[in-house]
Amino acid sequence: MSESLMEAVPGFDQPIAVLKHCHDKIRKQLKTLQNLLAHLPVHGADAAAQGAAQAVLKYFNTAAHLHHADEEQDLLPMLEATATGADLELISALKPRILEQHLQMDKDWHILNSQLERIAAGTAAELSPDDVARFVQSYTAHMETEESQVAPMAKRLFSPAQMQIMGDAMQRRRGISAEPEVNSPSVAQAAAPTVTAAAIAGGIALADLRMDYGRASLSKEDTLDDPVAQFTKWFGEAMKAQVNEPNAMSVATVGSDGRPTSRIVLIKQYDERGFTWYTNYASQKGRQLADNPHAALLFFWPELERQVRIEGRVERTSAEESDKYFYSRPVKSQLAAIASAQSAPIANRAEMEARYAAVEAESGDKPRRPDHWGGYRLVPDRLEFWQGRRSRFHDRIVYTRQADGSWTRERIQP
């Protein structure tokens, strides 16, 4: 018996077969997600449920985005450059639909991700059937489009040389060694900073540190009509690119004395209402927002040479929203939020630990959200999308909210 008993995995010399293999793995994860939905009402977030949630999270957070990048950066552009006649008309019609499907799948995953994280941690056993159904339907329709129309066209039109180019690009994207194309620097090389080091007391002159950007461009035509939708698009791309802490943002506030302060926090939710984070209302930022309910947020994603600036007024979330998030956190994080008088001086770490122990003894495993802890939502009136470009000639597209709630969009100079 000479046949291998193991499923053969296609090599990157067959890039279209690799894409189909990715689809097969996605289908398995979607099936796991559906099985988990049926499992939870009966067994809760038991070890099996936690393991299933962890598997789905791992795949869609670390691998699925590579498949999207293969299509957006290689497959579709190569087909557009190669196809003619009816083939070109078809791919031109399909491309916007495929890109829109990517955006929808990213949005659907963003909703499911937080639910699955709580199941994986064993702190909740709730998974929305509607959210699962929408996610599965989006992915299934997307894969059917590619397998029935896009992949057959690529197999028919691509030359062996084009297949090799695409396979090499897919390998590099996954960190697998592939021979670089002549005169074509790798992504890592392209992203490397150009540094002129002037020795100053054994160090480097800060004025001589330079990075010349050039990965992408941004025009008004590239952006969506709604700035929150545009943020969703960029946030999804930051997730796909495995940006370090893509949800980290700087929050800048100004107190009654007119002095600004800033700090890094993690965004916990965003939608058409605004951008939400949670904190101690009695902290420094809480006191400043009580004096001046306006703030500025900044997301910086250096791997993509992008930043997003968001400005607007700040309001507190409802008690119901604050409760929902507080009780979704691990119990130890709940206890820490109660024990810490954020921003207030304390003698030493030992005193902090003692306060935590006292709260833990009093609250047990069911602490109550304190009135001084909850959410803030920045309601934006200005968003700027910044794309780094060469020679500091950056692209900047700004959205400004009008009195009637609509948005204007314009380019401003770097």
Is 394 among the annotated ligand-binding positions?
yes
Which residues fall within 8 angstroms of residue 31, CB to CB, at 6 or more apart? none
Is 287 among the annotated ligand-binding positions?
no
Is 399 among the annotated ligand-binding positions?
no
Q: What six digits make up the tokens of 30?
A: 């979607």
Q: Which helix (H) or strand (E) holds 169?
A: helix 160-173
Q: Which helix (H) or strand (E) holds 396?
A: strand 395-401
Coil vs helix vs strand at 281:
coil
* Residue 342, Cβ density class (10 Å: 0-12 exposed, 13-18 middle, ≥19 buried): middle
Coil vs helix vs strand at 342:
coil
User: What residue type is assigned to position 220 of the chain?
Assistant: K
The DSSP secondary-structure symbol of 5 reads S
Neighbours of 344 (CB within 10 A): 10
Neighbours of 314 (CB within 10 A): 22
Is 377 among the annotated ligand-binding positions?
no
Residue pair 239/106 in contact by the 8 Å Cβ criterion = yes
Q: Which helix (H) or strand (E) holds 159?
A: none
Is 342 among the annotated ligand-binding positions?
yes
Is 231 among the annotated ligand-binding positions?
no
Is 277 among the annotated ligand-binding positions?
no
Is 267 among the annotated ligand-binding positions?
yes
Q: CA 188 → CA 102, 246, 313, distances in Å?
A: 25, 19, 39
User: What residue type is assigned to position 62 of the chain?
Assistant: T
Is 329 among the annotated ligand-binding positions?
yes
Is 220 among the annotated ligand-binding positions?
no
Enumerate the β-bridge partners of residue 278. Answer: 375
Is 265 among the annotated ligand-binding positions?
yes
Is 333 among the annotated ligand-binding positions?
yes
Using CA atoms, how far apart are residues 377 and 211, in angstroms rounded to an integer? 34
Is 382 among the annotated ligand-binding positions?
no
Is 373 among the annotated ligand-binding positions?
no
Backbone angles phi, psi at 313, to 5 degrees: -85, 155
Is 268 among the annotated ligand-binding positions?
yes
Is 325 among the annotated ligand-binding positions?
yes
* Catalytic (active-site) positions: 392
Binding site: residue ranges?
Answer: 263-268, 278-279, 285, 307, 325, 329, 333, 342-343, 386, 392-394, 396
Binding site for substrate: residue ranges?
Answer: 268, 325, 329, 333, 392-394
Binding site for FMN: residue ranges?
Answer: 263-268, 278-279, 285, 307, 342-343, 386, 396
